Amino acid sequence: MKLKIAVLAGDGIGPEVTHEATEILRAVAELGGHEFTFVPGLIGGVAIAETGSPLPTATLDLALDADAVFLGAVGDPKFGALPPLYRTRPGQ
């Protein structure tokens, strides 16, 4: 099986958790004779910091093009004071 997996690590503990989980998926793929390609994308606070949007169009396009999406944690408290507009609106 060959899969393209969008990895949206997010912010807070998301990057740590998704890193460890993708390492496990790599081991599973090797043992099972599968090929997983992991493609990173921005979401949540890290996306706001880098692009001004919590769900950049590039991330949405990546997710739609992937066979699977692996979503990490979002919700780092330092972004909690932002208006709801930045917590819910895709693209920008």
Nearest to 71 by CA among 2, 1, 5, 3: 5
d(CA 13, CA 39): 19
Query: Residue 9 sits in which domain range?
Result: 2-88
What's the total number of domains in the chain? 1
Helix/strand/coil for 12: coil
* pLDDT level of residue 89 (50, 70, 90 thresholds): very low
92: tokens are 């920008």
Tens of pLDDT, residue by residue over 38-48, are 999 999 889 99
Q: Is 52 left (phi over 0), alpha (psi -120 to 50) or beta?
A: left
d(CA 56, CA 60): 6
